[in-house]
Amino acid sequence: MLGLPSWLASTVKLSDRDIIRLITYSLFINILALATPIFVLQVYDRVVFQAGLETLKALVLGVFIALVFDFILRQARSRLLQFISLKIDGRLGDTVFDRFSELNLEDLEKKPAWFWQNIFRDVAQIRNFIGGGTVIIFIDIPFSIIFISIIYLIAPPLIWVFIFSVAIFSVLAWLAFKITRAAISAEQSSLAEVENLIIEIVSNRATVKSLNIAEHLKTVWIEKHSQTMESSLHRGRSADLFANVNVVLTMGVTVALTSFGAVAVLEQTMTIGSLIAANMLATRVIQPLSQLSLAWRTLNQFRGSRDRLGNLVQETDLLRKNVVGFSLSNAKIELEGLHFAYDAEKKIFEGISLKLEPAKIHAVVGNNGSGKSTLLKLMLNLYSPQAGKVIWDGADIRQFNPSQISNWCGYVPQECTLFTGSIRDNVAGFRENVSDEEVINIARAMGLHDDLSDLPSGYGTKIGENGHILSVGQRQKIAIARALATNPKVIMLDEPTSNLDQRSEQLLISTLQEQAKRNSSTIIIITHSPAILAHVDSITLLGTGKIQLTGPRGDVLPKITRPIATDN
């Protein structure tokens, strides 16, 4: 029923010793559960009718010892389940983060942000399921055969009533699973839409405030929240229906067992003690079956989490490569017959080819939607072309993993995102092999050093969420410094001067020229800045899925007769 796939079993690596301990604890807990019914049976059949006070003392002592051991075993089982769940959380969490990191940007962008948030919540869902009470229900159900056997031995006339009751509860549990599954899925989808809207609002709170669109967003939120409430109400009604049916059936089983048992007692085919003990044992068997019909929500959440993580593992298995040692010598980049489209109706490139030589600065220009940013992502293997290939130093880039490419290339995207940590950490890109001297040198080159030195904690200043304590220009300069800190052989910059002043723009030009000369780096920059274009070595103009112009700056720049808008 739980259906643990091989990838999950191999990831958590539960030892045989843990599994044997769990089964052993559960076995003895269920055996000790017989102590109370047997005690009641003996009291009514031997103590009450025979005035056996000595027997009563022995029975009380025995059942007390059994209850103490039952408590100890239950505590041991609970702690073992907690230990197993924490082990799963640690190992599975590491695996999920690694697998998430291996996905291509193209795959990540196909799904909304809330989906990937839920992927990490799925780890906690699996942990809570295994360490919670629901899994104990599934562990205890197989041991019901013990209680059924005892009932048959002490109260044979009731066995058919009992078997019929078990069948009814089993059917009820199956119906609960079938009916509530769709309701739970609808509720989760509605909740995901609300979460996605909240993420969008919080991530763009400055825009929301500046445009004063809170009232419109409130209307959208109310609509989505109402849908969530409706789906939750529908799911809740289904759950309540089965909960109430369970209660009524449980009482009905007690009435049926007592009625048939009373007849059997009158016919002297069983004793009063057997009747009471059989009722107690019936409760012990029916209780987990009754709880099972109420536990489907938790089980469905577990199965959904298991399946989503399984899909992630399968996707990344296809992307994993056998990495070979390779180092860039010349950092020459070539595009051969590159075709790329986001979908059938949105073709970006149709067979473009281009050569980018090392030790030079190459500019890429074009109108909105011409594919400039997409071109960089293809060259970084963040996107995969439908046809053609990207070649670095004579090797197809698809054979390299993200770690290799990031070691060779510094990249500045349009959105200059910084991460929680110190300014020094962000300039170094959180790389341990970047020295303080290298951090300070690149900060000086970008005109950052004096500003950072004036801060009370200097380079150790914590920047907060996305660097909110810094100006937009400072954040952009830190993003550029991060890309250049390791002297990469390839540098790609997407509109790096959009928030820079004239002085900072000149510093960037000088830094890039120094990198190209000293490190023989291949530098590709998307820009429309006349100051930048005046210092590049070549210019490539994109448009209508093709390369419209390409060549040395002196040949191409005079032919660009109109301003070109910012990128898509």
Over residues 3-48, the pLDDT tens digits come to 566 666 666 666 677 778 888 888 888 888 888 888 888 888 777 7
Mean pLDDT of 472-496: 91
What is the CA angle 207-208-213, rounded to 5? 130
436: tokens are: 């303080």
> Rounded to an integer, what distance in angstroms lies between the CA atom of residue 454 and that of residue 460?
12
Does residue 285 lie within any of the structural domains?
yes
Q: Is the residue at 223 inside a domain?
A: yes
Higher pLDDT, 109 or 475: 475
Distance CA 163, CA 290 (A): 14
Which of 393-397, 402-406, 520-524 has the least mean pLDDT? 402-406
Tell me the average pLDDT of the chain: 83
Domain boundary among 296, 319, 342: 319
- Is beta strand 409-412 parallel, antiparallel or unpaired with respect to 546-552? unpaired
Q: Please classify residue 112 by burial: count the beta carbons closer than 10 Å to its beta carbon, then call 0-12 exposed, 13-18 middle and 19+ buried.
A: middle
Integer angstrom CA distances of residue 137 from 76, 291, 360, 529: 16, 8, 68, 67
389 domain residue, yes or no: yes
DSSP per-residue codes, 35-52:
HHHHHHHHIIIIIIHHT-
Residues 25 and 139 in one domain: yes
- Torsion sign (Cα): 537, 541, 547, 553: negative
**How much is the average pLDDT of 218-230?**
85
Dist CA 429 CA 446 (whole Å): 16
Structural domain range at position 426: 333-559
Residue 566: which pLDDT band, with cuts at 50, 70 and 90? Answer: very low
Kindly tell me if the per-residue pLDDT of 1 is higher than 50.
Answer: no
52/454: higher pLDDT: 454
Asked if residue 366 and residue 226 are part of one domain, the reply reads no
Give the pLDDT mean for 462-478.
82
Q: Report CA torsion sign: 411, 416, 419, 422.
A: positive
Copy the structure tokens of residue 143: 């041991």
Q: Is 293 in contact with 169 (CB distance < 8 Å)?
A: yes
Sign of the CA dihedral with 85 first, then 87, 93, and 99 last: negative
The per-residue pLDDT for range 159-171, each reduced to its tens digit, is: 888 888 888 888 8
Instruction: Report the run of H or E that residue 343 belongs to, with start and end.
Output: strand 333-343
**Residue 64 is encoded by which pair of tokens?**
């007390």
Q: Taking residues 201-209, what's their average pLDDT?
A: 75
Residue 131 in domain: yes
Domain C-terminal end among 319, 349, 367:
319
**Is residue 567 in some structural domain?**
no
434 lies in the same domain as 298: no
Residue 6's H or E segment, with its range, is helix 6-12
Q: What is the distance between the alpha carbons of residues 307 and 516, in angstroms, rounded to a whole number?
A: 48
The enclosing domain of 337 has a CATH number of 3.40.50.300
Q: In this structure, is residue 324 part of a structural domain?
A: no
- The residues, ordered by sequence, that sit 6+ positions from 56 with a Cβ below 8 Å of its Cβ are 43, 47
Residues β-bridged to residue 525: 363, 493
Does 363 lie in the same domain as 267? no
If pLDDT is split at 50, 70 and 90, which confidence band does 73 have?
A: very high
For 406-453, the pLDDT digits (tens) are: 888 999 998 888 888 888 999 998 888 889 899 999 999 988 888 888
Instruction: Say what the pTM is.
Output: 0.70
pLDDT at 52 over 80: no
C-alpha pair distances (Å), 468 with each of 108, 213, 474, 475, 543: 25, 22, 10, 9, 36
Stretch among 207-216, 258-267, 511-520 having the lowest mean pLDDT:
207-216
Whole-angstrom distance, CA of residue 477 vs CA of residue 446 = 6
14 three-class SS: coil
Domain CATH number, residue 35: 1.20.1560.10
DSSP character string of 183-238: HHHHHHHHHHHHHHHHHHHHHTHHHHHHHT-HHHHHHHHHHHHHHHHHHHHHHHHH
In this prediction, residue 338 has a pLDDT band, given cuts at 50, 70 and 90, of very high
Overall average pLDDT of the 254-273 stretch: 86
326 domain residue, yes or no: no
**Do 348 and 429 have their domain in common?**
yes
Asked if residue 328 belongs to a domain, the reply is: no
Residue 126 in tokens? 């699996």
Identify the CA nearest to 286 among candidates 256, 260, 261.
256
* Residues 369 and 430 placed together within one structural domain of the fold: yes
pLDDT of 188 over the 80 cut: no
More confident residue, 283 or 536: 536
How far apart, in whole angstroms, are the C-alpha atoms of residue 348 and residue 362?
A: 20
Lowest mean pLDDT among 253-262, 296-305, 381-390, 466-475: 296-305
Q: What percent of the chain has pLDDT over 70?
A: 92
CA distance 565 to 244: 65
Mean pLDDT of 193-198: 81
Residues 6+ apart with CB under 8 A from 470: 418, 463, 478
Last residue of a domain, one of 294, 319, 344: 319
Domains in the chain, number: 2
Q: Which residues is 470 bridged to in the sheet? A: none
246 plus 369 within the same structural domain: no
| pLDDT attached to residue 492 | 95
What integer pLDDT is reported at residue 282 of this predicted model?
A: 81
Q: Is 411 helix (H, G, I), strand (E, B) or coil?
A: strand
Same domain membership, residue 382 and residue 310 = no
Res. 264 pLDDT band, cuts 50 70 90: confident
Task: Name the 3-class secondary structure at 451.
Answer: helix
Q: Is 91 found in the same domain as 22?
A: yes
Determine the pLDDT at residue 3.
52
Closest CA to 480 of 503, 500, 458, 450: 500
CA distance 531 to 446: 16
Are 127 and 244 in the same domain?
yes
Q: Do 339 and 288 belong to one domain?
A: no
Residues contacting 218, CB < 8 A, separation 6+? none
Which is it for strands 522-526 and 490-494: parallel, antiparallel or unpaired? Answer: parallel
Same domain assignment for residues 184 and 242: yes
389 phi-psi bin (left φ>0, alpha ψ -120 to 50, beta other): beta
